[in-house]
Structure 1
Amino acid sequence: MTTELVTLEIKQQIAYVCLNRPDKMNALNFDMFVAIDKMIKKIAKNRSINAVIVYGAEGNFSSGLDVKSLSKQPSKAVSLLFKFLPGNANLAQRVSIGWQRLPVPVIAVLQGCCFGGGVQIALGADMRIAEPSAKLSIMEAKWGLVPDMAGLASLRQLMSKDKALQLTYSAQILTAEQALNYGLVSEVCDTPMARAEQLAAQFLQTSPDAIAAIKHSINRSWSASIRQLLSRESLSQVALLVGKNCKIAAIRQTSKPDKAYIARQRWW
């Protein structure tokens, strides 16, 4: 599927999602928020997809919010932030937290600039692979805004509060190595797309249901009580043991892993 602002290519159970507004360094206008949200929902419905790689067109991940565009469209700015209940995710937040809610590994490939809303989207991924020349910044304060795209849900798990405050207060632009030291990216690599594909291929060798359960358990239990963690672990394990995918991981370690293809059976 191809849209004006987001492209999707599926190869060997891996979905390649491209933020495709290169003339604006993939800046986020209202239509792009809508396109990303729709893409996440489309991927969620496709159980043949077992990994996702998110990247930006023509050497940049995203320069962040297109403030000029949204300032000219106040009604769309309201639509971006509207929610029925305060605890629900609005459109601006779904383009970040939506990746966490997918039951498959999501890898962000970071090249060029990754600022503001671009960082928030990347934080929704399970891991972030950056090339050495990439630049990152939680830049909202520079424009008199707060980071409000749900990226803080991940940021608070990646670094200490004082470091998170420092980065959000200052809007400091970080090199890839600095971002790695802060924990903002997972790896720095000369060929980030190749590394993301290597990771995705490794993930495809295990059970898709097991990965879905692991992702669900970790995301829900990382800051939960011990009792909640133990309960979720046990329920997930029972569901896996009685499911059709129970033996899939072992089969995929054989000399004919392609024979072990199976779509996800459960929705976690």
Structure 2
Amino acid sequence: MTAPRVTVEIINQIAHVKLNRADKLNALDMAMFLAISRTIKKLRKNRKIRAVIVSGNGSDFCSGLDVNAIMKSPMSMLRLLFKALPWRANLAQIVSTGWQSIPVPVICAIQGRCWGGGLQIALGADFRFATPDSSLSIMEGKWGLIPDMGGTIALRELMAIDQAKKLAMSAETFNGEQALALNVVTHVTPSPLAEAQAWAEALLKQSPDALAANKKLYNKSWHGSQGWALFRESYYQIRILMGKNLRRKIYNQSHDAAQHKAFVPRKKW
């Protein structure tokens, strides 16, 4: 029996998502693309989870596209790239951009190789924790291709355009420390999975409504008009003020841990 390409375990309201193809360095075949897409859809609908941690089984996060596996079926590439509407994400792009549709913080724990499609997946998260010696690359250029999995959207918000072009055109590899200097990763640590767990647990103390609203506010307002940004600030704040979780957060701030009230499932954002 074939092992699932992605495993999901929810512990204490934190969803632990693991790319599960360690024997192939977690390379992306069609089954992996479909499994990630299904996982994102399920987590998006789960209003009880409070954070998501994405990691890879084995020594590597993801070494990129499994070209041989994809090319075995002529329809696979078409299936990856097809889109009914040009401005919507296709299957190849959903595995990166889809993490932003989940209204909770998504943290990627990167170790070993994080190349090509693997880096595109990680760029779709809200935070990236990496080991100092991890190996990252926009590797599509090595094969005469361009990055086409949605990571471009994240890169334009993370780094200077000349540096992004340099990485994409050269397909060079860079380590975790260099990635931090380029602002490609959020934090460098010898233990990214443990640090991601600690950060997720810290976020459990915050109102899930506030976390969801913050994620949506910044995603929609980082670019665009000042007027719409100001509108969203006011509108989202009113929604939070009308919810139970604000009152519970205020109560918890005024009492010790033994008297804390549990947050209710977040609003639908």
User: Structure 2-normalised TM-score?
Assistant: 0.96
| Inter-partner Cα distance in structure 2 for 1:231 and 1:100 | 21
SS in structure 2 at match of 1:129: strand
| Cα drift, residue 258 of structure 1 | 8.2
Instruction: Report the Cα distance in structure 1 between the residues aligned to 2:175 and 2:72, rounded to whole angstroms.
Output: 32
Offset at 1:252? 4.0
Per the alignment, residue 105 of structure 1 pairs with: 105
CA distance in 2 between counterparts of 1:70 and 1:141 reads 18
Aligned mates of 1:222, 1:10 — CA distance in 2: 31
1:113 touches 1:134 (CA, 8 Å); kept in 2? yes
Q: How does 1:1-268 map to 2 (within 5 A)?
A: 4-253=4-253, 254-256=255-257, 259-268=260-269
Q: CA deviation at 1:48?
A: 1.1
**Structural RMSD (CA):** 1.5
Cα distance, 1:264–1:107 mapped onto 2, change above 3 Å: same
Code of the residue aligned with 2:42 in structure 1: it is K
Cα distance in 2 for residues equivalent to 1:227 and 1:264: 30
Greater CA deviation, 249-258 or 180-189?
249-258
Give 1:145 deviation, angstroms: 1.4
Deviation at 1:250, TM superposition (A): 2.6
Secondary structure, aligned partner of 1:245: helix
Cα gap change, 1:250 to 1:176, in 2 (>3 Å): same
Note the C-alpha offset of 1:262: 2.7
Kindly indicate whether the alpha-carbon contact (under 8 Å) linking 1:206 and 1:248 is maintained by their aligned counterparts in 2: no
**Partners of 1:206 and 1:252 within 8 A in 2:** no
Aligned length: 267
| Ranges in structure 1 where 5+ consecutive residues have no aligned partner | none
Looking at structure 2, the residues matched to 121 and 50 of structure 1 have their Cα atoms a distance apart, in angstroms, of 20
Give the TM-score of the pair, scaled to structure 1. Answer: 0.96
In structure 1, distance between residues paired with 2:92 and 2:4 = 19
Contact 2:139 2:168 in 1 (8 A): yes
Higher mean displacement: 65-74 or 11-20? 65-74
Check whether the contact 2:63–2:114 (CA below 8 A) recurs between aligned residues: yes
Segments of 5+ residues of structure 2 without an aligned counterpart are none
Residue by residue over 1:175-216, the C-alpha shift from the partner in whole angstroms, topping out at 9 and shown as x without a partner, is: 111111111111110111111111111111010011000000
Judged with a 3 Å threshold, the aligned counterparts in structure 2 of structure 1 residues 258 and 215 are, in CA distance, closer, same or farther, namely farther
- Percent identity of the aligned residues? 50
- The answer on whether the counterparts of 1:63 and 1:117 sit within 8 Å (CA) in structure 2 is yes
Q: In 2, are the aligned partners of 1:114 and 1:136 still within 8 Å (CA)?
A: yes
How much has 1:257 moved relative to structure 2? 6.8
Give the SS at the match of 2:32.
Answer: helix
Distance 2:266 2:59 in 1: 36
Does structure 2 conserve the Cα–Cα contact (< 8 Å) formed by 1:251 and 1:257? no
Code of the aligned partner of 1:180: L
* Structure 1 residue ranges (4+ consecutive) displaced by more than 3 angstroms after TM superposition: 251-254
Map Cα deviations across residues 198-237 of structure 1 (whole Å, 9 max, x no partner): 1111111010011000000000110111111101111100
Q: SS at the partner of 1:33?
A: helix
Specify the SS of the correspondent of 1:260: coil
C-alpha deviation, 1:59, in angstroms: 1.8
Cα 1:91–1:263 shift into 2, 3 Å:
farther
